[in-house]
Amino acid sequence: MQLSLTFKDLEKKNTKQGEKNSQRKPLNKNELNIIETKLKKIESFLPGHAKKSARMEVILGESRAKSLGKNFRAEINLSLPEKILVANFRSKSLHAAVDGAESRMIRQIRKYKTQHHIDKKMDGKSLKKLRSIFRSNEDAERSED
């Protein structure tokens, strides 16, 4: 799985003086490693056929809607065969935003897996078994009446 991180507006800039505001420091290597390990956990939830071709793009940044009190946002775009999954989350801290987006993405991957695995497992043999079970249940109900 390919992973690309993009950072947008993580340093607040003071437009009057042109100096960086000291409220938010740029990310250091330790924080980047923590974020990458959290995001690589998503790969373990992917189905086997999608692990090689999956591509994840992560956009981390500060949101412009500061009136809500949620300053940071994380957006995860995951390209899978036949589908593109998107998860967004806003929070007061960058790590909480990444955690929220990660949990939303895992939930979407589980839905993707159930949809695609059911379709693949329903080959001719399993359909015949289901039909025979339904027929036997219907015959049993008829014989009781």
Tell me the pLDDT tens digit for each residue of 99-138: 999 999 999 999 988 887 655 555 566 667 777 887 887 7
pLDDT averaged over every residue in the chain: 79
**pLDDT score of 28:** 77
How far is residue 2's CA from residue 40's CA, in Å, rounded to a whole number? Answer: 10
What is the mean pLDDT of the segment spanning 50-72? 81
Task: With cut-offs at 50, 70 and 90, classify the pLDDT of residue 94.
Answer: confident
pTM score: 0.68
CA 7 vs. chain centroid, Å, equals: 18
